[in-house]
């Protein structure tokens, strides 16, 4: 398999779907002009809206979603693989999917991924999130054949569940993806170390396109889109939270080298857990 250039598109999606589409199109075009043959957009490319009622007035089912239509056409026009990190897609009257799409250079949908792990968290700065109240979690973790490498799909909070990425690596994935809208607080503490850890433990590239900055719904996201090499070094980073793109060369041969140097996947063994209670002793008389 040959090397290719991959791009992360960093955005600050707001409440205006059309404006978000325009930003995504502009940045993807710029990355393609710079030589990217694969581009990843962040989680919730089409819309960031915390108000549940407002969210439902702005989203559509997959067949009618304007962002998906436009970005499929853009991939076809540019002749690139376009990975839409995720869109809010209506499933029914009360449910939504946080769904990623991998689009072929012909504009076809090669794979879909619904975020598996819901961000139900109370942070110590007062932020509270309950994704499970609105979003329906997925159950399938896809690994997709690209012309250059096998790619695993995940979204944001999934990065804290390493079993997904190990499973993808064992299924042959050489590139792991984490489009995200990481909160600023958790991003400052954990973003880099989590992404580098997933790369190191699996001997794989990690590509993570992020939302960044203060959004119209008042949330703040961390930005700092990253591309990490299989040995754990950061090979591209947006060291800010502004919209833009980063790019790096992805060489599957580097995956083989890392997995040969430390064959953690090959050395993995099945084991069981055992809880042991200390033996009780009679009290001294």
- Which of the residues 5, 115, 131, 254 is marked catalytic? 115
The rounded distance, in Å, linking the Cα atoms of 220 and 181 is 9
Interior angle at CA 70, CA 44 and CA 82, nearest 5: 65
Can you give the three-state secondary structure of the chain, one letter per residue? CCCEEEEEEEECCCCCHHHHHHHHHHHHHHHHHCCCCEEECCCCCCCCCCCHHHHHHHCCCHHHCHHHHHHHHHHHHHCCEEEEEEEEEECCCCCEEEEEEEECCCCCEEEEEECCCCCEEECCCCCEEEHHHCECCCCCCCEEECCCCEEECCCHHHHHCHHHHHHHHHCCCCEEECCECCEHHHHHHHHHHHHHHHHHHHCCEEEECEEEEECCCCCEEECCCEEECCCCCEEEECCCCCCEEEEEEECHHHHHHHHHHCCHHHHCCCCCCCCCCCCCCCCCC
237 is a catalytic site residue: no
249 is a catalytic site residue: no
State the CB neighbour count (10 A cutoff) for residue 198.
Answer: 27
Query: Do 109 and 103 contact (CB within 8 A), yes or no?
Result: yes
- The two most distant CA atoms of the chain are separated, in Å, by 86
- Which of the residues 5, 8, 131, 156 is marked catalytic? 156
- Which of the residues 43, 49, 131, 254 is marked catalytic? 43
77 is a catalytic site residue: no
Catalytic residues: 43, 115, 156
């Amino acid at each position: 398999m040959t090397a290719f250039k991959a791009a992360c598109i960093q955005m600050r999606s707001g409440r205006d779907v059309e404006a978000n589409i325009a930003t995504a199109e502009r940045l993807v075009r710029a990355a393609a002009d710079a030589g990217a043959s694969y581009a990843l957009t962040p989680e919730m490319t089409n819309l960031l809206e915390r108000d549940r009622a407002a969210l439902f007035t702005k989203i559509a089912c997959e067949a009618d979603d304007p962002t998906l239509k436009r970005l499929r056409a853009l991939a076809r026009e540019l002749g690139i693989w376009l990975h839409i990190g995720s869109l809010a897609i209506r499933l029914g009257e009360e449910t939504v999917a946080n769904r990623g799409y991998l689009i072929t250079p012909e504009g076809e949908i090669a794979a879909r991924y619904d975020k598996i792990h819901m961000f139900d968290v109370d942070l110590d700065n007062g932020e509270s999130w309950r994704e499970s109240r609105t979003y329906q979690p997925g159950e399938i973790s896809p690994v997709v054949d690209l012309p250059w490498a096998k790619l695993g799909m995940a979204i944001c909070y999934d990065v804290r569940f390493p079993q997904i990425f190990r499973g993808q690596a064992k299924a042959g994935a050489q590139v792991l993806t984490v489009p995200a809208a990481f909160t600023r607080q958790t991003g400052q503490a954990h973003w880099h170390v989590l992404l580098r850890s997933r790369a190191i433990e699996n001997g794989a590239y990690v590509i993570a396109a992020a939302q960044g900055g203060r959004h119209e719904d008042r949330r703040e996201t961390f930005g700092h889109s990253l591309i990490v090499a299989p040995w754990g070094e950061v090979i591209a980073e947006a060291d800010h939270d502004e919209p833009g793109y980063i790019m790096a060369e992805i060489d599957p041969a580097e995956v083989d080298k890392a997995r040969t140097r430390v064959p953690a996947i090959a050395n993995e063994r099945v084991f069981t857990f055992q809880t042991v209670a200390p033996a009780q002793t009679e009290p001294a008389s």
